[in-house]
Amino acid sequence: MKIEVGEHLVRSWLRHVKNCQIAELNWKPSPLWVAHQNFQVFMDDARIFFKQALDDDIFKSTQTASQLLRQGEVDVLGIRFRGNNTPPEIYAIDIAFHEKGLNYGSPQDTVKRVLKKMLRSLMLIESYFDDCALKLIFCSPNVNPAYAIPLELGILKLQEFLASRRLSCDMSLLINGSFTETVLEPTIQQATSIADTSELFLRSYQLLNIVPKAPKAAVSSPLLPFAPTNGVKVVPGNQEKLPIQLDPEAEHDFKSALLASGRAIIAISYADGRIEEKPWNAGNFSLSSSVLGNLRSRPEFRQGEFQRRGIKGVRVTAIPPSV
């Protein structure tokens, strides 16, 4: 049995951060269940839409909706029952953990693969669950900019297609910084409170923290391919985070203001003293979105890129609805 540590991380996140009472890995429906509706027309419409939007077919030319659903599964499924006759929240999450960066071939092939995964998950949930608040998520901790930008544009097209079909769905793309801040860090913060041997990711993290750290020896090993000379100090990659200041300062207050107006101003400060202002039209921002994760996932604010551009800090001001 193959073990995907990324899926176990997301399962722990659903249970202990999103408070899902049920969280299952590799969920798929029983072949004995009867689907609520036939998604063939929906799939045909999606094929036409994305053929125009991406100049490519995201499905196999001969594939039918019933074949797609029989072959499909959701990497991690979470259900949160909210009581008081409120429909449950259902999280359908696909995760790709590629050590060298998300890669299903070319950027276009990768976008096609991700969109197909998300459409299939949506079709699966809508086929077998009644009256639920669906949260459709694709996440990956490491996505190169050459893939991230086309992927973000592809997700926008997917949102456009679902809106045209009047399908209500809260969709999120959690990659790079937004994955770290929304999923990884909040889950790790719960590690000391969990003692459950079924929690593979958290147990692995706990093991790393209880193993005694060996003292660091002086660097003078013939096994090293080279060693610094002439007093030059070799420092691993700079992992500092870009300073981001919100107005209003509290993230909760900022998010409320942003959701009310859908607009903000991003002021970027450079090392040479310049300040560049850009509008942020946040029409697709939702209550479950991460403010800082959304900002840090922008290409120019990513680790390594903001240093290259000489960006020293960012101030983001939410515009009141009346302005």
Query: pLDDT tens digits, residue range 264-302?
Result: 899 999 888 888 888 888 877 777 778 888 888 888 888
Helix locations, 105-199, DSSP H: 107-128, 145-164, 177-179, 185-188
- Those residues whose C-beta lies under 8 Å from the C-beta of residue 116, and which sit 6 or more positions away, are 58, 59
Q: What percent of the chain has pLDDT over 90?
A: 30
Whether 105 has a pLDDT exceeding 80, the answer reads yes
Domain ranges of the chain: 5-184, 244-318
- How would you class 128 by CB atoms within 10 Å of its CB: exposed for 0-12, middle for 13-18, buried for 19 or more? middle
When pLDDT is averaged across residues 131-159 and rounded to a whole number, the result is: 91
Whether 76 has a pLDDT exceeding 90, the answer reads yes
**How high is the mean pLDDT of the chain?**
83
Q: How confident is the model at residue 227 (pLDDT cuts 50, 70, 90)?
A: very low
pLDDT of residue 214: 57
Type of residue numbered 287: L
CB atoms within 10 A of CB 96: 22
Which backbone phi and psi does 247 adopt, to 5 degrees?
-135, 105
Tens of pLDDT, residue by residue over 180-215, are 999 988 888 887 777 776 777 877 777 776 656 555
Residue with tokens 């200041």: 245
When pLDDT is averaged across residues 16-29 and rounded to a whole number, the result is: 93
pLDDT of residue 125: 92
CA dist list (Å): 215 to 20, 174, 212, 218:
41, 37, 9, 10
Report whether 116 contacts 153 (CB < 8 A).
Answer: no
Instruction: Render the burial of 6-34: b for 16+ CB within 10 Å, e for the rest.
Output: bbbbbbbbbbbebebeebebebebeeeee
Listed in order, strand segments (DSSP E) in 9-150 are: 22-27, 74-80, 89-95, 133-140
Cα–Cα dist 285/114, whole Å:
20
Whether 232 has a pLDDT exceeding 70, the answer reads no
Cα–Cα dist 307/15, whole Å:
36
Report whether 155 contacts 112 (CB < 8 A).
Answer: no
Count how many residues are written for the chain: 323
pLDDT of residue 19: 93
